[in-house]
Amino acid sequence: MTDEPKFALAPFFGEGRREFIEHIPHVKRLGMEVLYVGPYTARIKLPFREELIGDPVRRVVFGGVITTLLDHASGLAVSASLPEFRAIATLDLRIDYLRAAVPDRDLIGESVCYKVTHHVAFIRASAWDDSPDDPFATCHASFMLGANPGENAIARAIRKSVEEPS
């Protein structure tokens, strides 16, 4: 008999949850949308906006914006891997920019947490504008678990959503 893995975030698994955005000021400001959260994984959409452009001639979104998209998807994927909520913190994150993102297209970022140890979670992620088979960026990241004694920020955002429904 094998034990089914239990996830603290399980009640919130599924498509289009607003709880993960509404009480996190910066991702709300960027207009991000959570498309899907499930065991070990999260997929987020960042709608194209002129103010996110980094290269005005080519109208390409600034690379660092992709960092925010994938860091956030990764934090969510790590939280979606834990049996109980713990505070997490990005330890390091490396992005390869494979090509320019196409202007005026929504950016999709997906993170998968492929290994969780006692203290660290490991992530691979990618971002695309058309097809997941043709990403414009790939990413590896690691997260500290129990980085500080505080509450998991995702857990707090969910709690706030319950307390103050929008």
Partner 1 sequence: MRGVEALAHIPYARFLGVHVEEGEHGLVCVLPFRDDLVGNVVLPAIHGGVVGAFLELTALVAALTVADSDRVPKPITFSVDYLRSAGPRDTRGRAEVVKRGRRIANVRVLAWQDDPAKPVAAGIGNFLL
Binding site for partner 1 (CB under 8 A): 23-29, 50-57, 61-65, 67-72, 75, 87, 89-97, 100, 148, 150-153, 156-157
**Residue among 5 and 31 whose Cβ is closer to partner 1:** 31
Closest by CA position to 65, among listed 56, 54, 74: 54
| Euclidean distance between CA atoms 153 and 103, whole angstroms | 32
In terms of phi and psi (left: phi > 0; alpha: psi -120 to 50; beta: otherwise), the region of 31 is left
Work out how close the CB of 144 gets to partner 1 at its nearest, in angstroms, rounded to a whole number.
9
Work out how close the CB of 58 gets to partner 1 at its nearest, in angstroms, rounded to a whole number.
8
In terms of phi and psi (left: phi > 0; alpha: psi -120 to 50; beta: otherwise), the region of 101 is beta
**Residue among 1 and 119 whose Cβ is closer to partner 1:** 119
**Residue among 87 and 102 whose Cβ is closer to partner 1:** 87
Work out how close the CB of 66 gets to partner 1 at its nearest, in angstroms, rounded to a whole number.
9
Work out how close the CB of 4 gets to partner 1 at its nearest, in angstroms, rounded to a whole number.
29
With beta carbons less than 8 A apart as the criterion, state whether 99 and 60 touch: no
With beta carbons less than 8 A apart as the criterion, state whether 70 and 95 touch: yes
**Residue among 36 and 97 whose Cβ is closer to partner 1:** 97
